Chains A and B, each alone.
Chain A
């Protein structure tokens, strides 16, 4: 399998290089991961992203290979502007199973200050949750200080502040591809209408918003959101979310400690301890502290989590920051579990030949670790640009038991 993948990767790279001229553009990212303790070659990844420009649209092809499954994703796309219409089309195939998986078509335009959008998508029966198809119509505009957004759902939902869109997940490996339009039912009947009004501030309330949602069975809910209510205490504001459903009403009060920025050289993360009732505040807990200092291309970061049950430190892909655990889960961010301290040093500068170099070292300290001072894991990654279009990458993970993994790769653009 590895030989086949390597051959396929080399073939695509060769074809890509021959197409370096003209309207073609390409990015090829590949890397291997070595595990000295177990399998020597534990990971191999290769991603080829091709673009072909035919004014006024760009056609794209995305091919991803992974050691575990071979040819994992093949996606095609088109984006561009046709007159007043901004278009986007996507197709996704699963080559390992020779299945068509998903397709979407988005057309947007502006008409008299109103944003109009047509979103349609089809999900194949090869995906659990399918087959399904549908479309949605989105109208967004401004009336004075009032922002109005209307989404008519005809069997599909679209990504917005409350909804994350759709991910197509490869179940065995967890790799996924995200898209905007989520077809939820077979057939294209009316399935929902979402009307959101937001924007105006009123006296002590920073922002007011309301959302009405009705589905094919009628009224579903209406919610009123009042953000940043000033209680007269300079360091405390409250968000209120009042939701009426057919038979229930819920009120969520979210107090927040506001210290402003630049007051302290470190950033505290406070949590509110709520009492038995929503309007009761039992206390304020200091959940974490972050110290970040940047000087001449060197960034030193020290993150301390005092309450590991409520706060976590996200991985480098998600900014290496302290985040409430609930938020990290809701947003799908990866984080270091049971970690109470993270030391991070990052260096960025100009490389010799037109590119730039970057070096990042993260060391974590974990609960229950047998390492010195509770040391858990050290992760280092680096990249060196040999030119503006060629970047070498490397990574290393060291745990208490020793070297866990060693990775290296190359990224090309032409």
Chain B
């Protein structure tokens, strides 16, 4: 974390920087049109702005081939070299953190058009070559609860190579096992539940403690998060 102190903090105190604060510091100089503010990454920004301005000033003669071309080239080359050096130095400002992104199972919000609805089940940042098998509880200990949804109408569409091996949906809720025989899914959809809605505010709720995940490497995924689209509307894959 100490490398983050090369830029002064907005409050003037360089101690105890959080990762997020450092990220803001290092990222800020790329917003070149922004006005610098004292104590807000101004040192780094002014250096970068300076080299950019120098290059911009000499840009036109360089492109159109007017007088002073070689001199302009030299200056621009020097500016580029300084810029490259600064970029390399900017790389040194990094904190070598571990990649972010805890393995996550998404259960989307119910998407309703008329009396029909669906929910997407997706994953993100799955380790061990990706998610290869998933189990939602078992009969008598169902992991999926349905609200204002006809359980008899539930159909499951398989996505990204996942195959449903067994399923049961009833008044007590739903349970299913699905696996991907061809490999793992690191990020993306794995299942889509479609159903008929029976009332207002339909809901599909999953109990995390009853869900089991296994990776393509043949081991259980024990550290993961259950999220709904209320927690995170977008994810990356």
Measured between alpha carbons, how far is A409 from B115 in the docked complex, in Å?
24
Measured between alpha carbons, how far is A42 from B115 in the docked complex, in Å?
10
> Does any Cβ of B come within 8 Å of A113's Cβ?
no
Rounded to whole Å, the gap between the CB of B150 and the closest CB of chain A is 12
> Does any Cβ of A come within 8 Å of B41's Cβ?
no
Neighbouring B residues of A130 by C-beta, 8 Å: 100, 236
Question: B182–A83 contact, CB under 8 A?
Answer: no
> Does any Cβ of A come within 8 Å of B74's Cβ?
no
Question: B120–A186 contact, CB under 8 A?
Answer: no
Rounded to whole Å, the gap between the CB of A19 and the closest CB of chain B is 27
Query: What is the 8 Å Cβ interface bit string for chain A, positions 53-93, against chain B (1 contact, 0 not)?
Result: 00000000000000110000000000000110000000000
- Would A133 and B27 be within 8 Å (CB), given that A168-B234, A190-B94 are in contact? yes
Question: B227–A128 contact, CB under 8 A?
Answer: yes
Closest-by-CB residue of B relative to A38 is B116
Measured between alpha carbons, how far is A67 from B92 in the docked complex, in Å?
46
Question: A188–B236 contact, CB under 8 A?
Answer: no
Closest-by-CB residue of B relative to A40 is B114
Q: Which of B23, B120, B183, B237 sits near A131, CB closer than 8 Å? A: B23
> Does any Cβ of A come within 8 Å of B22's Cβ?
yes
Measured between alpha carbons, how far is A135 from B29 in the docked complex, in Å?
13
> Does any Cβ of B come within 8 Å of A364's Cβ?
no
Q: Which of A41, A166, A167, A185 sits near B113, CB closer than 8 Å? A: A41
- Would A174 and B236 be within 8 Å (CB), given that A42-B114, A337-B158 are in contact? no
Question: A127–B235 contact, CB under 8 A?
Answer: yes
Query: What is the 8 Å Cβ interface bit string for chain A, positions 101-118, against chain B (1 contact, 0 not)?
Result: 100000000000000000
Question: B93–A188 contact, CB under 8 A?
Answer: yes
Question: A171–B108 contact, CB under 8 A?
Answer: yes
Rounded to whole Å, the gap between the CB of A35 and the closest CB of chain B is 7
> Does any Cβ of B come within 8 Å of A330's Cβ?
yes
Rounded to whole Å, the gap between the CB of B26 and the closest CB of chain A is 5
Closest-by-CB residue of A relative to B163 is A337
Question: B90–A188 contact, CB under 8 A?
Answer: yes
Closest-by-CB residue of B relative to A97 is B233
Measured between alpha carbons, how far is A393 from B97 in the docked complex, in Å?
50
> Does any Cβ of B come within 8 Å of A39's Cβ?
yes
- Would A187 and B111 be within 8 Å (CB), given that A131-B23, A168-B236 are in contact? no
> Does any Cβ of A come within 8 Å of B202's Cβ?
no
> Does any Cβ of A come within 8 Å of B20's Cβ?
yes
Query: What is the 8 Å Cβ interface bit string for chain B, positions 196-232, against chain A (1 contact, 0 not)?
Result: 1000000000000000000000000000000101001
Measured between alpha carbons, how far is A184 from B96 in the docked complex, in Å?
11
Question: A39–B113 contact, CB under 8 A?
Answer: yes
Rounded to whole Å, the gap between the CB of A77 and the closest CB of chain B is 18
> Does any Cβ of A come within 8 Å of B104's Cβ?
yes
Question: A184–B111 contact, CB under 8 A?
Answer: no
Closest-by-CB residue of B relative to A134 is B94
Neighbouring A residues of B109 by C-beta, 8 Å: 172
Rounded to whole Å, the gap between the CB of A187 and the closest CB of chain B is 4
> Does any Cβ of B come within 8 Å of A363's Cβ?
no
Closest-by-CB residue of A relative to B62 is A83
Q: How many residues of B contact A (CB 8 A)?
A: 57
Question: B120–A174 contact, CB under 8 A?
Answer: yes
Q: Which of B63, B158, B185, B232 sits near A128, CB closer than 8 Å? A: B232
Q: Which of B101, B120, B158 sits near A172, CB closer than 8 Å? A: B120
- Would A189 and B113 be within 8 Å (CB), given that A171-B108, A171-B233 are in contact? no
Question: A332–B90 contact, CB under 8 A?
Answer: no
Question: A185–B27 contact, CB under 8 A?
Answer: no
Measured between alpha carbons, how far is A97 from B232 in the docked complex, in Å?
11
Measured between alpha carbons, how far is A39 from B187 in the docked complex, in Å?
31
Neighbouring A residues of B237 by C-beta, 8 Å: 166-167, 169, 176
Closest-by-CB residue of B relative to A152 is B91
- Would A120 and B30 be within 8 Å (CB), given that A169-B234, A171-B108 are in contact? yes
Measured between alpha carbons, how far is A168 from B236 in the docked complex, in Å?
5
Neighbouring B residues of A325 by C-beta, 8 Å: 161, 182
Query: What is the 8 Å Cβ interface bit string for chain A, positions 172-194, against chain B (1 contact, 0 not)?
Result: 11101000001011111111000
> Does any Cβ of B come within 8 Å of A315's Cβ?
no
Neighbouring B residues of A39 by C-beta, 8 Å: 113-116
Q: Which of A83, A127, A128, A332 sits near B188, CB closer than 8 Å? A: A332
> Does any Cβ of A come within 8 Å of B148's Cβ?
no
Question: B183–A330 contact, CB under 8 A?
Answer: yes
Neighbouring B residues of A330 by C-beta, 8 Å: 183
Query: What is the 8 Å Cβ interface bit string for chain B, positions 69-108, against chain A (1 contact, 0 not)?
Result: 0000000000000000001001111111111110010101
Measured between alpha carbons, how far is A131 from B114 in the docked complex, in Å?
36
Question: B114–A185 contact, CB under 8 A?
Answer: no
Neighbouring B residues of A137 by C-beta, 8 Å: 87
Neighbouring B residues of A190 by C-beta, 8 Å: 91, 94, 96
Measured between alpha carbons, how far is A159 from B221 in the docked complex, in Å?
27
Question: A189–B92 contact, CB under 8 A?
Answer: yes
Rounded to whole Å, the gap between the CB of A197 and the closest CB of chain B is 24
Question: B93–A186 contact, CB under 8 A?
Answer: no
Question: B116–A186 contact, CB under 8 A?
Answer: no
> Shortest 4 CB-CB distances between A and B: which pairs?
A189-B94, A39-B114, A129-B236, A128-B235
- Listed by A's residue number, 25 A-B pairs whose Cβ atoms lie within 8 Å are A38-B113, A39-B116, A42-B113, A42-B114, A83-B63, A94-B234, A97-B233, A127-B235, A128-B234, A129-B236, A130-B100, A154-B91, A154-B94, A167-B187, A169-B188, A169-B237, A170-B234, A172-B111, A172-B229, A185-B100, A187-B93, A188-B93, A325-B161, A328-B161, A329-B161
- Chain B interface (Cβ within 8 Å of chain A)? 19-20, 22-23, 26-27, 30, 59, 62-63, 87, 90-101, 104, 106, 108-109, 111, 113-116, 120, 122, 124-125, 158, 160-161, 180-183, 185, 187-189, 192, 196, 227, 229, 232-237
- Since A185-B99, A330-B183 are in contact, a sample of 6 more A-B pairs with Cβ atoms closer than 8 Å, ordered by chain A residue number, is A42-B113, A166-B236, A186-B19, A187-B19, A187-B22, A309-B181
